[in-house]
Structure 1
Amino acid sequence: MRKLFDRQLEKATDAAGHVDLVALERLITAAYEEAELDRTRTDRSMELMIGELTAFQVGLETEIDKRTAQLTRSRQKLRTQNTRFLTALENMSQGLAMFDARQRLVVCNHQYLEMYNLPRHLGRVGTHLVTILKARIAAGTSGGDDPVAYLRERLFVATEGVSSSAVHQLANGRVMSVAHKAMADGGWVTMHKDITELHSMQAELAHQAYHDALTGLPNRNFFYQRLGQAFEALHSGAGFAVLCLDLDGFKAINDSMGHASGDKLLRQVATRLSDCTAAAGVVGRMGGDEFAVLLPGGTRDSALALARTILDAIRRPFDIDDHAVLVGVSIGIALAPEDGAGADALLRSGDLALYSIKRGRRGGYSFFEPDLAQTLSARSSMEHDLRRALANGEFELFYQPVLNLAAQQIVGFEALLRWRHPTEGLILPGDFVPLAEELGLIMPIGEWVIREAFAEAARWPASMRIAVNVSTVQFERGSLVGVLVNALAASGLAADRVEVEITETLFLEQSETNLDILHQLHALGLKVALDDFGTGFSALNYLLAFPFDKIKIDGSFVRALDNTAGAHIILGAVASIGRRMGIVTTAEGIETAEQLRNVRALDYTEAQGFLIARPMSRDAVRHLLDLSSDPRGEVPMVVEPKAATGTGGV
């Protein structure tokens, strides 16, 4: 203030040194006002500055609080993530281990330690890889059989810096899948999974894919594979042989004793076949009761020797559920490379050789011959022709008379199917019915036989019966009862004039269902006859299973009367059984007067065979019946039959 007064005094003093008090007062007042104004401005500036500083401080504190909260949240999130990571790490089904560039442990979970049987202290951070690997070797959880090689291989993978995956078979038998992932800093992480169970399952599945579940033998796929390998090795060694085998009589055993017994039989057969070949060959089950043997380096002589060994082994009785069971085996032999240049061709040759054995006689062996291919071609041709035969009207029925021995009168006829082939002539049923059954053609053919036979029999005298043979396939696949009912209705034939002939095979397949059908036939008034009695495994049991009206003794027993003393006993026993059970007995295959006298003496009811009459055509039957002058419609015994057309039934 003093300085301000001095400045204003200086301004109010004139040159003479006189002070103008009024002017001084004005000047002082103005200066004072100016000073006040400056002070006011300064105060306002200070206030503004203080306000700005206060706002800055508040904003700074807010930002600090915000940043602090964010940091707190980040730390909490990091702790949560770390907790989750550790929880996930410890609850993994796999083992995990991470190492740094110095091959020191960064982290691992307890699964890693447990699966390799490692102590917990080895899971500490900083543990060296070599220490862990040595501990695994000591614990028996290293891979492979050579610990040194294992240690070298693991260290190589660790230092190589590349990612990899491998499956390790541990010394303790466990199997581990290990994935190695290299990291940019020189470290790595490994994932370890115990795949022992999976590995065993895969091995089991692989075994099942190439081995038969029932017998444990190589299956068709594996056998084909080994066969292909044998062909690949042909250029560097000798040839080899293939034996195709099929059991004889297995189906009857399987069906009569049950599938469980059949399975036991197949397992025992497989064991014997393996014993026969030992380490010299490969035995495979091709399906059902079919087997095959690959004999490396096999010559004709060695294949023949093996076939004989197998025949002897299979012919020995099998012990199935305390029962001695007998089966045979048929063997077809093919040699490589002469009988086939590939697996399919060689097996086809072996099957053709097998087919030739089973077609002629069951049991034994046969080598492939080139002309067997012609046989297969003929079969294919027959199949083609058979499919068109019914539509072309090529089938005919022949009728063989049945003689009542007591009355010496013909009492009926058995309808027998024939195929009059346009180029091959008359073909007997034994040559085409099995094929028709296999192809399913027996259904329409069998229905035609029934309708045709019933329609023809309706023209005969009322005392004449008609017998029709029925295939087991007709029981299994078709409505046999419906077919018979429709044929009876269409022909007007009385049901009691009809005999339905079956073979014992019917009881070996779906016996409960088939027995029900047989009872339905009886309910309709039809007669049921058991054909070829005595040729099967348990024929007497069938007489208890169903009340047959007739049993027909097979012709082989009749022929045996000429030179086998036991045949008289068997035939007499059958006749006695029939008489006591009220069953008609028919002796088939009578070819000589001596045979006829024998069966009559044994008290058989009826007889059938060439001596009495050969199968005859429809017109021949009509002519024969027209010759009869007996008002009762009875026909005398045929002494000199005409029209030699062969035997057989459908």
Structure 2
Amino acid sequence: MSNNLPSIARSPIDRSSVALARASLFKFVGLLAGVFFLASYSLVYLAHDLDRTEEVQSAFYTKKAMQSLEKSMRSTVKDYAFWGDAYKHLHVEMDPDWAYVRQNVGTTLYTDFGFRGVFVVNDVNRTVYAVLKGELKSVEAEKWLEQSIDAILVKAREGVETETPTTAFIVVGGIPALVAAAAITPGTDPTVVSDDRSPSVLMFVDILDSAKLEAIGRNYGVDGLRVATSGDMGTTSILPLGENGIAGSLHWSPSRPGLRLLALGLPLIGVAALLVCLMTWVILRRATAGAQALDASYTSLQSGRAALATSEARFRDVVEASSDWVWEIDADWRFTYLSERFEDVTGLSRDAWIGAAMDDLLSTELGSLSQWLSIPNRLPAISVQCRYVDTKGQERITRLSAREMTCGGFRGTATDVTEEVEARRRIEFLSQHDALTGLPNRTRLQEFLDGKLKALPTVKHPLVMLSLDLDRFKPVNDLLGHAAGDRVLNEVSSRLADCVRHGDLVARVGGDEFVLILTDVSSQEEVEALCRRLIESIERPIEIDEQEVFVSASIGIAMAPNDAREATELLRYADIALYEAKAGGRNTWRFYAGDMNEKIIERRRLESDLRFAIKHGELRLHFQPRYRIADGQMVGAEALVRWQHPERGLISPDTFIPIAEESGLILSLSNWVIDTACRYAARWPDSLFVSVNLSPIEFKRGNLVERLQKILFDSGIDPARVELEITENVMLEDAEGALEIMHTLKRLGVRISMDDFGTGYSSLSYLRTFPFDGLKIDRSFLNRLGDSEGDESIIQAIVGLGCALSLTVTAEGIETAEHLKLLKAVSCDEGQGYFLSRPLDTGAFNALVGIRESTGIKSNV
């Protein structure tokens, strides 16, 4: 009996201990369940927030990529459309040779920019030029695009006054495409006169196929950018193309950092929860065994604490696996905790910064970080962009998220956003700078100019604008290719930037056009000194692939407020001054003056009148006889064009021939002269030939051989009775092309003579290489005979050279009997001049050669 007493006495205590152990255990399990639930909820919330942030960022970059593509295409089509040469060769007269063969608007738009389609639509909406995948084709734009383009043409022409291009997303063959279009205008070229027709439109088409979209996505860090299918609709990763998604939509695969976090964290939390459940089951089983359950409960409690520590350690591992680093600071703004990711992201030591002030590490543009966190009435959660310096001495940018703790101090996360900020800066930079040279573009120039003009420059401290255009740059592109031209532009840009001071601006506004804005110039002499320095710097040789290239520059100068107070006026006046500099011989500079604008207007009026004169018979031909000096026998005559203006009277060829060459009218004028001269000469005696001057421009374009062949056939004249006079300028610019054309002309049977011989620097080599039949001694040698004995020796040498090369030598400008006597003495072959005969109109010349006047001769040109 006594042996059972201790056992009976322990039973209530054991049962009470078991109940107490069970109650404590259930409370502990409930606490752990709350911890697991909170940890799981926090992990899911953090993962969802990470995914949402990543999706918003990828949508931003996708939209920015499309906007950048539109802006790039608008800028490209604007550079080509608002260009004087494009206006002349694509609108005034469609010139495929200039556009495609010479690669001005040809294959390079496909190879360099990837444009699948390039079209020129004329004033009556007919496609007159098409390049598809770099190949010249004859196809209508609407047929290739499989849709109407009327809306695009209307919008492009609406922007002609403001020089604003347009873009539109369309569908071509089931694939989205971006179309950029702009009305073709003369731009700022003062030498180009616009006509009354509706402007033609230049269109570039970029097909957004899978390869193109994938490349765009790579450039902007967007994975899997592609055209959205029906299965993609309803997701958030969708960007409509065009208004209401008329060209379809884009879909991409945003990164899912939150999903990766859940994949790592949730299994760990689940394992921990499973362990706790298993531990609870074991404790309850052992507690029912008896009073010893208290000891087992205590052991289980210890095990539970160890499991909790393990769970916390696992949660800490999850935090360390994220891309952000976690921090905590106390009320004194000193770090009390830094996660291990701190060292991986920043490269700095955790131990060195624990206990250090946060302001010593991070700074903001709006003051110290502690001041920012101390702002009263702030939101519970704060996000701010900070900067710090890593171990390599480089500045890094981080986005700091902070939340105040109840016990004082703050905790939060930090995300490195350096690459994101740099990408945004790069996008902003490209929107205001030239992609080739890195110089400011028109947009940046306009902003800079508007800002400086708002500061109201004064007469003593003016704002100076230099409009600079390269001379002899086009032959670099033609002969060495566009890649060499780009290298020349880069070198010139660097030299221009080196010549100006800090605070000034150098901008590239066109192919070889630059604008310089000077903000601190006190005198005209200072401006001229800078112009002289700019030209000298540009004239230094540029080495391209072991070959020296030489270019020069012409400069037009306008100043505010003297000349204008508005940016557009200042630009226009600088362009007018530039035109005067080019007309003054190039490689020089001119300041804008009020009468320059009047000269430009007057020149444009003359150009318009000349266009009318060619079409309506205001031109006349005079013929100056040429005589054989040995016996005085007439051998032929030179055809000289005269313009009898109904209001201005007789206008000298020295006035209207340059205008014709610059405006492109020289081809029509030359056609009329050659055709009319040949028709008149066909009625002369067979012993007489007719001589006609050719412009160097006719060797560059205009199908000279075909034109001449048709005129010879129509007039019926013997080709041997036609002589073409050319100058050395023909050979200077493109010797190989000129030689080929001249050989073709010789096969037609015509004669070729070098005009103004002796005024160039390489005439002897040309005489040996090119198939000349004769040469003409420039009149300047005869005019100076009384002043220089050396000119007589030169004439004798030229005659001897012509004789040695079996060339007919003709002297121009025979004004006196002494001139004729000298030429006889040196055995010169032929001569012409006022002493022998003035130029005669057709009636007087017909009377001279003894044929009856006829009014039946008309030109077909």
2:347 to 114, 117, 125: 117
The 1:289/1:95 distance shift into structure 2, 3 A limit, reads same
Query: Is it true that 1:550 corresponds to 2:771 in the alignment?
Result: no
| Structure 2 counterpart of 1:616, one-letter code | L
Q: How far 1:456 moved relative to its partner?
A: 1.1
| Structure 2 counterpart of 1:115, one-letter code | V
Separation in structure 2 between the aligned mates of residue 245 and residue 538 of structure 1, nearest angstrom: 33
| Structure 2 counterpart of 1:350, one-letter code | A
Separation in structure 1 between the aligned mates of residue 744 and residue 432 of structure 2, nearest angstrom: 46
Question: How do 1:86-485 and structure 2 match up within 5 A?
Answer: 95-98=323-326, 113-119=343-349, 137=361, 152=370, 161-164=380-383, 166=385, 168=387, 170=389, 172=392, 174=394, 176=396, 178-180=398-400, 188-195=412-419, 199=422, 202-203=425-426, 206=429, 209-210=432-433, 213=436, 222-234=444-456, 238-240=460-462, 242=464, 244=466, 250=472, 278=501, 282=505, 287=510, 292-298=515-521, 302-308=523-529, 310-311=531-532, 314=535, 318-319=540-541, 331-359=555-583, 366-485=590-709
Aligned partners of 1:255 and 1:508 also within 8 Å = no
Q: How far 1:82 moved relative to its partner?
A: 5.9
Q: How far 1:460 moved relative to its partner?
A: 0.9
**3-state DSSP of counterpart to 1:585:** strand
Separation in structure 2 between the aligned mates of residue 599 and residue 255 of structure 1, nearest angstrom: 45
**3-state DSSP of counterpart to 2:759:** coil
Separation in structure 2 between the aligned mates of residue 166 and residue 589 of structure 1, nearest angstrom: 82
Separation in structure 2 between the aligned mates of residue 248 and residue 178 of structure 1, nearest angstrom: 46
| Structure 1 counterpart of 2:703, one-letter code | S
* Counterpart for residue 263 of structure 2: 84
Separation in structure 1 between the aligned mates of residue 625 and residue 389 of structure 2, nearest angstrom: 82
Separation in structure 2 between the aligned mates of residue 504 and residue 303 of structure 1, nearest angstrom: 38
The 1:484/1:546 distance shift into structure 2, 3 A limit, reads same
Q: How far 1:525 moved relative to its partner?
A: 1.2
**3-state DSSP of counterpart to 1:234:** coil
Q: Which moved more, 1:574-583 or 1:515-524?
A: 574-583
* Counterpart for residue 16 of structure 1: none
**3-state DSSP of counterpart to 1:400:** strand
The 1:566/1:292 distance shift into structure 2, 3 A limit, reads farther
Aligned partners of 1:212 and 1:285 also within 8 Å = no
* Counterpart for residue 802 of structure 2: 578
| Structure 1 counterpart of 2:263, one-letter code | R
Separation in structure 1 between the aligned mates of residue 490 and residue 799 of structure 2, nearest angstrom: 41
Q: How far 1:276 moved relative to its partner?
A: 6.0
The 1:449/1:109 distance shift into structure 2, 3 A limit, reads farther
* Counterpart for residue 45 of structure 1: none
* Counterpart for residue 12 of structure 1: none
Aligned partners of 1:244 and 1:290 also within 8 Å = no
Aligned partners of 1:268 and 1:318 also within 8 Å = no
1:486 to 710, 713, 716: 710
Separation in structure 2 between the aligned mates of residue 509 and residue 180 of structure 1, nearest angstrom: 64
2:740 to 513, 516, 531: 516
| Structure 2 counterpart of 1:339, one-letter code | D
Q: How far 1:583 moved relative to its partner?
A: 2.4
| Residue-by-residue CA offset, 1:493-547 (whole Å, 9 max, x unaligned) | 1111112222333234444333322211111112222223343454344334422
The 1:213/1:530 distance shift into structure 2, 3 A limit, reads farther
1:503 to 721, 727, 736: 727
Aligned partners of 1:330 and 1:364 also within 8 Å = yes
Identity across the alignment (%): 32
Q: How far 1:492 moved relative to its partner?
A: 0.8
**3-state DSSP of counterpart to 2:594:** coil
Aligned partners of 2:326 and 2:339 also within 8 Å = yes
Separation in structure 1 between the aligned mates of residue 804 and residue 620 of structure 2, nearest angstrom: 38
| Residue-by-residue CA offset, 1:35-87 (whole Å, 9 max, x unaligned) | xxxxxxxxxxxxxxxxxxxxxxxxxxxxxxxxxxxxxxx9xxx9x97673479
Separation in structure 2 between the aligned mates of residue 554 and residue 624 of structure 1, nearest angstrom: 26
| Structure 1 counterpart of 2:370, one-letter code | R
**3-state DSSP of counterpart to 1:500:** strand
Separation in structure 2 between the aligned mates of residue 212 and residue 559 of structure 1, nearest angstrom: 55
**3-state DSSP of counterpart to 2:753:** strand
| Structure 1 counterpart of 2:524, one-letter code | A
**3-state DSSP of counterpart to 1:419:** strand
Aligned partners of 1:562 and 1:595 also within 8 Å = no
2:837 to 613, 618, 624: 613
Aligned partners of 2:335 and 2:355 also within 8 Å = no
| Residue-by-residue CA offset, 1:142-163 (whole Å, 9 max, x unaligned) | 56899xx665378669996445
Long gaps (5+) in structure 2: 1-39, 45-258, 267-316, 853-861
| Residue-by-residue CA offset, 1:328-378 (whole Å, 9 max, x unaligned) | 765544332131121222233334344445445656654433232221221
Q: How far 1:477 moved relative to its partner?
A: 2.8
Separation in structure 2 between the aligned mates of residue 455 and residue 546 of structure 1, nearest angstrom: 28
Q: How far 1:262 moved relative to its partner?
A: 8.1
| Structure 1 counterpart of 2:686, one-letter code | A
Q: How far 1:233 moved relative to its partner?
A: 1.3
- Give me the TM-score of the superposition, normalised by structure 1: 0.67
Q: How far 1:188 moved relative to its partner?
A: 4.2
Q: Which moved more, 1:503-512 or 1:236-245?
A: 236-245
Separation in structure 2 between the aligned mates of residue 521 and residue 202 of structure 1, nearest angstrom: 59
The 1:151/1:500 distance shift into structure 2, 3 A limit, reads same
Separation in structure 2 between the aligned mates of residue 100 and residue 269 of structure 1, nearest angstrom: 55
Q: How far 1:282 moved relative to its partner?
A: 4.6
| Structure 1 counterpart of 2:787, one-letter code | N
Aligned pairs, how many?
536
Separation in structure 2 between the aligned mates of residue 583 and residue 373 of structure 1, nearest angstrom: 47
Separation in structure 2 between the aligned mates of residue 326 and residue 439 of structure 1, nearest angstrom: 26
- Give me the TM-score of the superposition, normalised by structure 2: 0.52
| Structure 2 counterpart of 1:432, one-letter code | F
The 1:338/1:572 distance shift into structure 2, 3 A limit, reads same
Q: Which moved more, 1:334-343 or 1:238-247?
A: 238-247
The 1:157/1:354 distance shift into structure 2, 3 A limit, reads same
Q: Which moved more, 1:476-485 or 1:612-621?
A: 612-621
The 1:108/1:562 distance shift into structure 2, 3 A limit, reads farther
Aligned partners of 2:363 and 2:386 also within 8 Å = no
**3-state DSSP of counterpart to 1:432:** helix
